[in-house]
């Protein structure tokens, strides 16, 4: 499951059928690459924050089902956990690879399988606008201070998921657009040359007629 598929879903208690809020964040233990804690708020933009363990999720569909309100535990500590979204991804030599916009994980076990990267690090930007890439967690060395450090050769193993409109526009140049229509351009050039030749013939022909008329002139009889 993608992280973005779980965030913003409503959490419902199976026992009472009451809403417990909306998923606002997921917290990952980067040492074991497991999603551990689910953060919930009463609304998507504000409200008191509550937490429960991912293992307490009963089912995920249009909503997230949990057994009852008792799963909420505000005593859960977030020390040593990371959100990952927006983190820089660099190689061990500090070569930039991208930014984390999300990840894929197993909803049953919580195991993170791969990171989803782009150039902005925000899942709010649609994939139709920005290109996204996949990096498997096996290539990650460690996570330090909002930075994911990966093996030096990891950039060559990154796989593109989508090609965004913005990146496609950057890659396109005016010359590319011009060369898409060579036949049209050649026809235009031929037509211009044709008009020039026609014009030059028309410009010469009156002079030729003038000279021919001069040859036909006759002197006055009195002369």
With a pLDDT cut of 90, the percent of the chain lying above it is: 67
Question: What string of DSSP letters covers 42-66?
Answer: SSSSSS-EEEEEGGG--EESSSEEE
**b/e per residue 56-86 (b: at least 16 CB within 10 A):** ebeeeeeebebeeeebbeeebeeeebbebbe
* Residue of 204 and 8 predicted with greater confidence: 8
Q: What is the average pLDDT across 31-39?
A: 97
Residue 109 has a pLDDT of 97
Model confidence pLDDT, tens digit, residues 121-139: 999 999 999 999 999 999 9
- Please say if the pLDDT value at position 206 is more than 50: no
What stretches of 74-139 adopt beta strand conformation (E)? 88-91, 96-105, 112-118, 132-136
Q: What is the average pLDDT across 137-159?
A: 95
Q: What is the mean pLDDT of the chain?
A: 82
* Residue of 120 and 44 predicted with greater confidence: 120
* Residue of 193 and 75 predicted with greater confidence: 75
Residue 47 has a pLDDT of 83
Q: Using an 8 Å Cβ cutoff, are 92 and 80 in contact?
A: no
* Residue of 210 and 24 predicted with greater confidence: 24
Model confidence pLDDT, tens digit, residues 154-196: 989 999 999 998 876 665 433 343 333 344 344 444 444 444 4
Residue 171 has a pLDDT of 54
């Amino acid at each position: 499951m993608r992280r973005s598929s779980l965030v913003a879903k409503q959490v419902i208690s199976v026992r009472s059928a009451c809403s417990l809020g909306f998923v606002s964040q997921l917290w990952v233990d980067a040492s074991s690459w497991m999603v551990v804690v689910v953060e919930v708020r009463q609304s998507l933009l504000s409200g008191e924050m509550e937490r429960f363990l991912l293992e307490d999720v009963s089912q995920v569909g249009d909503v997230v089902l949990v057994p009852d309100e008792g799963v909420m535990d505000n005593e859960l500590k977030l020390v040593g956990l990371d959100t990952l979204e927006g983190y820089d991804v660099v190689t061990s030599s500090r070569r930039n690879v991208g930014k984390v916009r999300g990840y894929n994980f197993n909803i049953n076990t919580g195991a993170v399988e791969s990171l989803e990267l782009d150039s902005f690090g925000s899942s709010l930007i649609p994939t139709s606008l920005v290109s996204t890439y996949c990096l498997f967690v096996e290539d990650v060395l460690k996570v330090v201070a909002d930075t994911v450090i990966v093996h030096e050769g990891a950039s060559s193993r990154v796989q593109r998921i989508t090609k965004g409109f913005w990146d496609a526009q950057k890659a396109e140049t005016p010359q590319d657009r011009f060369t898409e229509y060579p036949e049209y351009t050649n026809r235009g050039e031929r037509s211009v040359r044709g008009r020039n030749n026609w014009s030059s013939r028309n410009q010469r022909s009156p002079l030729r007629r003038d000279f021919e008329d001069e040859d036909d002139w006759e002197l006055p009889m009195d002369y």
